[in-house]
Structures are given as C-alpha cells and as structure tokens.
Structure 1
C-alpha cells in the first residue's frame, strides 16, 4: 500500500507541476502586452510601465514563474488589480459559496443516480428500466442554465418559495438554513444533468456485474435480490461509477460559471467571469491554477478510493 500511495503522490506532484507550466505559459507568454490589455487601449505609456513594474512583467519569464510558484509555497500572494485585494482572500470568500454548492449538487446527484441506476438494472428491459432511461435521456439533453431559468420561474416567481437569486451568506438572520435555501435551486439545476449521466453508468455497471457467477451463488444461498444488489453487486460495480463521480465533482466545482451567473451567486465561477471582464489576469491565473489543482487532487482521491474498494488494483500496482 505504501508503494501504491507513493506512486500516486509522485504522479500528483508531477501533474501539478506540468499544469502550472501550462497555465503560466498560456496567460503570460502569449503575444501582446498584458499590461496594456488590462488597462485598455486608452492607457498612457507611463501607466502601462507602472503596471508592468507592479506585476513584475519587466523581469524574465523564468524568474516570474519561479516567483509565482515560490509565492504560493511560502504563503505570499499576488494582489488583484481590479479588487485591490489579495487573490487568496478573494478565492476563500468565493469558495464559501462554490464548495457548499458543489457538495449539495454532488449529494443530490449520488442519491438520485444510484437509486435510479440500481432500480433500472433490477428491472432490465421492463417498464421501469425504459422509464428511467427515457428520463435520463431528457436530463442529459436539457442544459443546466435553461433548467435553472425554469426552476426560478416556477419556485421563485410563481410559487415564491425561494428568492430568484443572490446569496445572503451563512451568518444572516436565518443562519445556515438561509444559505442552504439559496443554494437549493442551483444545486438542483446542476445535479439534474449529472444524475442523468451517472444513472446510465450505474445501470450499465450493475447489469455487467449481475451476470457474474458469484451473483448466482449468492442467490442460490438464499439471499434476497435486494440484498444481493445493494451489498454485493453495487460494490463490485462501483469502480466505473466512482470514476464518473470524481469527474463530475471536479466539474461541479470548476464548471459552475453559467449557473452562478444565472442565480447571481458570488462563487468561483462568477469571480472568473468578472476577472475576465475586468481583464484582471492575476486573478484569472491563480483561480485557473487552483481549479486545475482541485481536478488533479480529486483524481488522486479517486485512485486511492479504487484501492479501498477493490484490493486487486492495489496489489497489482
């Protein structure tokens, strides 16, 4: 297990290093004057030179890259040009919205997908299976932003159960419930598409495992069909399901720009959108690097969970 863990950690570090080089090269080494792009065409040469000095653009690229990575490792942070605030502080404030939103959406996705996928597999080629597959196809086809607009129209405009957008924070008069209520509709809009995809994957994986000999043996020993499905089949079918879940959770954290803008949520996605609009490349660079690190870290966690679920993968490594 220690060798398996060491190899995964080394892979994580190497991938993170490559990602940092790609992010830096994409935003720092492209043709054009970054300072002039941030200040606009009407900027004076003096203001452009001052911003270049402030951002360190007058130094060699290798030195700028080393200072950027060294600053993150030592806790030194760059300051946003448009917000005049350290970038980690901006990210920490926005993660208070994006991370709970992603966790809520992932929880809804997991519960719905596992229940529907196992239900469809248990009723293979029957009405229940056809109904779940048709419903999942509709879920895959519906864009999350369009579903978000429909949810706002129904629950906020017509029924007036929740507000149409915005986030009151976690310390308002309603406490935690106020924040949770503000994230319910965005989480549902994000979870619908992800649950539809995961339900189809779960169904296929469960059907494949159900054809194995150990399933017939378990049934012959007197175990109920429900017990076999949830205690034996689902665990053995969980490796491909876990792969999709890891990708989906990373996508929920990194891909919420449109939904956060529909609901006017001050999250990471909206921060990136505003930073691009403000030409604040310092924020864009650090946020993109953080999101890349999140995706790589989630892949590492998924690899470790593989080994816990299926020991054969650990031993073969």
Structure 2
C-alpha cells in the first residue's frame, strides 16, 4: 500500500507541474494587455516610458521560462504572487473566495451522490416499468441540456418573474453571518449543479445495479425468498460503490468546470468567478493561482479516490502498480 500511495503521489506532482507550465505559457502568450488589469482604462494613456517601466516592475520583460521558474520557486514557498486587479496577494484573494466555492461544490457533490444512488436504486427495482422509463428518460434529457441555459431559465422564472430567489451574490448586504440567507442564495446555483449531473450518475448506478443483479449469488438469494429490496440493500450496492467513487473522481474536473460556469452566471463570488475575471483582465498571478488550486483539487481527488477504491477492492491496487 505504501508503494501504491508513493507512486500515486509522484504521478500527482508530475501532473500538477505539467498543468502549471501549460497554463502559464498559454495565459502569457494569449493576446491582451495585462496593464489594463493594473491601471484600468488609464493603461491606454500611459506614455512609452511609463509602459516600459510598468512592464519591468511586473517582471513581464523577462523570458517566459525565467518567469515560470521564478513563479515555481515562489509557489513552493507559498507565495503565489500579487494580484494586478485586487492589489493584494493572490493567496489572500483566493482565501476570501474559496470557502464559497467549497460550499457550493461540496453540497452539489453530496446531494448528487445521494440522489443518484436513490434514483438508481428506484429505477433498478422498477426495471421496465413506467416509473423506470419516466425517470431514465427525464434524467437523460436534463443531462443533455446545457447548464448555462438551465441557469438563465431559473433566473428568468424564479428571480425575475416570481422574485422568489436572488439571482446573484452569496448573501444580502449586511447578512453575511445569516446562514439562512446564505442558503437562500445557494438554492438556484445548487439546483443547476445537481440537475446537470444527476441524470448521468443515476443512470450509471441503475445500469451497474442491473448488471450485479444478474450474478449467481443474487439468484441464490432470491431462491432463499429474499425480496428484491433486501437483496439490493445488502451486497450489490456495496460491490458497485468503488465504481461510483471512481466515476465521481474522474468526473471531478467536469463538476468543477460546470461549477465555474454557474458561479459566473450567478455572480457567485467563488474561485470560478475569479478565474474568469483574471483571464478577462490578464491578471496572470491570480489566474495561475485559481487554475492551479483547481488542478490540485482535481488531482488530489483522483488520488484519494484511488486509495479508497484500492482499500475497498484490493484488485484495483494491483492494477495501479502495473
């Protein structure tokens, strides 16, 4: 197990380094003026001498490889740089936004997992029946609808027309300590996140469960007179859990990408909104910080899932060592 974990950690570090290098190069080579992030509209009025000095002060006059090397050295020490737009350390900017993203992502993953298992079991128990066909086809339809379209429809219906839920922000002004107010702002973004992924996972659980129900030990259990619900609630669910965990970890990047879009549409002050803003204004340090943080979460999530899955099913550990 120690060798297995060390191998996964080594792969994780390599993946993060490749990700950081790719994002750094692409962001710096993309067209745009990073001085707009620092000076706003005043960047266009800078003289040639002032522009040269500003670029030099930001360290953007050095070769990209040199800039990346400096960034890596500082990042290892915990220094992610200074945000051009927010005029403060990137670490501090992310710390104020990350809890919001963590709350949204954590709740969406939790409810998606619970609801998908529930719907998967219901459809498996009612295979071929009307309820099974309704849930399965509805789930597939919802999964195919783009998240941004669902977001706009929910805003139009529940925020603009009915005025039941807020369309932006994480809390009302002056109510940052009001948990109920925060939950009220979370309902629409969380609903979009769940709807966008529930169908895929519930159908996956259903199909895996139906496959498991064809095994010989299930036939023996049925011969003993056990009901279908008793059979499913004991052995099959436990056996398919590693597959569900692996699928969730492999889809973590998709979940986070969808969450970033939701944050931007609902003006939800999370890391996703920061990444969009930093890319728009060419705030390189903040963009690197946000993207690398996201990449680390995805890779670490995959690492943890591999370890948990190997503990549940030792065969997966042997495959991972090959």
TM-score, structure 1 normalization: 0.89
Whether 2:230 is the aligned partner of 1:227: answer yes
Deviation of 1:187 (Å): 0.5
Whether 2:141 is the aligned partner of 1:165: answer no
- C-alpha distance in structure 1 between counterparts of 2:293 and 2:5, whole Å: 23
SS of aligned partner of 2:86: coil
Partner of 2:2: 2
Partner of 1:68: 71
Range with bigger deviation, 149-158 or 181-190? 149-158
Partner of 2:263: 260
Partner of 1:21: 21
Partner of 2:244: 241
Whether 2:128 is the aligned partner of 1:125: answer yes
- Contact preservation (8 Å) 2:209, 2:236: yes
Residues 256-285 of structure 1 show CA distances to partners (whole Å, capped at 9, x for unaligned) of 233223322111121122222322222222
Residues 127-158 of structure 1 show CA distances to partners (whole Å, capped at 9, x for unaligned) of 22211111112211222222223333443345
Range with bigger deviation, 218-227 or 76-85? 218-227
- C-alpha distance in structure 2 between counterparts of 1:33 and 1:105, whole Å: 35
- Contact preservation (8 Å) 1:139, 1:192: yes
- Contact preservation (8 Å) 1:148, 1:189: yes
- Contact preservation (8 Å) 1:170, 1:176: no
Whether 2:281 is the aligned partner of 1:278: answer yes
SS of aligned partner of 2:81: coil
Deviation of 1:42 (Å): 5.2
SS of aligned partner of 1:256: helix
Range with bigger deviation, 54-63 or 109-118? 54-63
Whether 2:109 is the aligned partner of 1:106: answer yes
Partner of 2:315: 312
- C-alpha distance in structure 2 between counterparts of 1:279 and 1:232, whole Å: 53
- Contact preservation (8 Å) 1:261, 1:270: yes
Range with bigger deviation, 242-251 or 62-71? 242-251
Whether 2:208 is the aligned partner of 1:205: answer yes
Residues 153-206 of structure 1 show CA distances to partners (whole Å, capped at 9, x for unaligned) of 443345544323222279827622221221111001111010011111111111
Aligned residues between the structures: 316
- Contact preservation (8 Å) 2:36, 2:281: no
- C-alpha distance in structure 1 between counterparts of 2:31 and 2:192, whole Å: 39
TM-score, structure 2 normalization: 0.88
> Which residue among 57, 77, 81 is the counterpart of 1:78?
81
Change (3 A) 1:138 1:34: same
Deviation of 1:300 (Å): 0.9
Task: List alignment gaps of at least 5 residues for structure 1.
Answer: none
Deviation of 1:115 (Å): 1.0
- Contact preservation (8 Å) 2:79, 2:91: no
